[in-house]
Structure formats: structure tokens, C-alpha cells
Amino acid sequence: MLFQRVVTALLLAPLAILIILLLPTPWLAVVGAVVFLGALEEWARLAGVRQPAARIALLAVAALLFVLLWLAHAGPLTPLLLALGVAWWLTACLWLRHFAYGAAPTKENRAVKLAAGAFVVFPAWIAALALHGREPHGHWWMLLALLVVWAADIGAYFSGRAFGKRKLAPQISPGKTWAGAYGALAAGAAVALIGGWLLGLRGAALPGLAVLALLTVAASIVGDLLESLMKRHAQVKDSGDLFPGHGGLLDRLDSVFAALPVFTLGLQLLRM
């Protein structure tokens, strides 16, 4: 499984990097919307929407919302959506504490999970546009946000394997440990410091970016756990089978969905 994960990552990471660095923001918006729609379809299945026609209808509505958000994204809506995204992930922490909430396959719980999916996907897409389109170095800031998440994932894996004993959330994701979380935080902060220095940050701005990276990694862990909660409720191992060793789109993007609003809003508040 590790070999499959490494090979898939080595194929996907360069593609993601090229898309971020080479595409202008409008084209990134299109590619991102398509990818996020794929993840939203997987979310709908985890939420209990079993009929393909119903999922197609939901995706059509979501596509229209992407268009409307694009038309309004340059105005005051962006900070509001970023704040809503961050607020949602704080709320998600409460859901993780009461992990049995929404587990029953009822219409009401399905509606709650679909609404949650909207708060997961749309603020992250807006955050990606705001981050990629910022001046100067927006493309590189976007890449740094992903590198922080990727480094956290790697740090969590190796520190968890080496030192992991105390479980982080055994009822939701038994494989995650506190040692893995500490490794994720350390790796993410280190990558942020290096990236920030390369992007010209000096002085007090670097510690500020390190703190933001810690918050971003913490959010990414919450995003990962929330998707694990959804999969546990749905009684499946992966959200899909698109990527060998990695699962579906949602399995690859859960951390990113949570990290992007936090990182983008933090940069705006820190005025970097």
C-alpha cells in the first residue's frame, strides 16, 4: 500500500504543481471547480444520496453556484466566505466530539451532511482563487499552502509510525495518533518558514507565518478527521477508488479543503 501511495503521489504532485504555477487564475478556477465537483459527488454518496440522478442534480446546482461565486468573488463576498469557512471548521470540531451525531441514515441527517459539504467545498474554492490571484507571488503562495499540507501529511505518517502510541481519535480514525499530529505540526511549520523566507518574508513576519502554518495544519487534521467520520457513518474505507493506494478525490482533498480558508484568511489578516 505504501508503494502504491508513493507512486501515485509522485504522479499527481507534479501535475498539481504545474497547474498551480502555469495556469492563470480564471483557468485554475475552472480546473478547481471540476475537481471539487468530483469530490462533492463523493461527499454526496457518503451522505447517503444513492440515486445517480439525484447526485447529478446536486452537481448541476453546485456548478451553477460556482459560476455565481466566480461572478462575485472579487467583491466583499470573499472575506465573508473565508470567515464562514473558518467558522465551519471550528464547528466541525464539535461534531468530532459528538461523533455519533448524524450517523443514522435518515433524510434529516442526509440534509445536514449535504449542507456540511457546501461549507467544506465552496469556501475552499473561493480561498484558492483569492490565494492564487493575490499580488505578488499568488501562484507561489498557493503552492506553499499545498506544500504545508503535504509536509504535514508526511510528517504525521512517519512520526506516527515511529512514536505513535496514544490515539488521537480512536472512535473515528484509529490509525491517527498524537505523535502523528505533533509531527504534522512540526513539518508544516518548517516548510512554511522555508517557503516564507524564499518569498521574501523577514523579521516578525516569519514567526507570524509559522503560527499561521500551525493553525493551517490543525485545520487540515480536522478536515481529515471529518471525512473519516463521514466514511465511518457510511461504513466504507475510502470515498472512491480513483487513485490506487489513495482512494478517491475526497480522500486526497479533505485536508486541503480545511486548510485553504484558514491559510488564505490568515495571510489577509497578517497583511503578508
* Residue 99 structural domain: 2-270
Return the C-alpha cell found at 7: 507512486
d(CA 155, CA 192): 14
The answer to whether 255 touches 224, Cβ cutoff 8 Å, is yes
Which candidate, 139, 235, 161, 220, places its Cα nearest to that of 185? 220
SS3 content of the chain, % helix, strand, coil (to 5): 80, 5, 20
Instruction: Identify the pLDDT of residue 83.
Output: 95
Along the chain (272 residues), what's the average pLDDT of each consecutive run of 10 residues? 69 91 96 97 95 96 96 85 95 94 94 96 96 94 97 94 92 94 98 96 94 98 96 90 76 95 95 78
Torsion of CA 106, 112, 114, 116, to 10 degrees: -150
Consecutive H or E run containing 169:
strand 167-169
Strand 167-169 with 173-177, pairing: antiparallel
pLDDT of residue 9: 73
Count of domains for the chain: 1
Residue 141: CB atoms within 10 A of its CB come to 22
Judge whether 8 and 246 are in contact, CB under 8 Å: yes
Q: What is the pLDDT of residue 13?
A: 87
Give the position of cell 503521489. 9
> 3-state DSSP call for residue 174?
strand
Nine cell digits for residue 106: 435518515
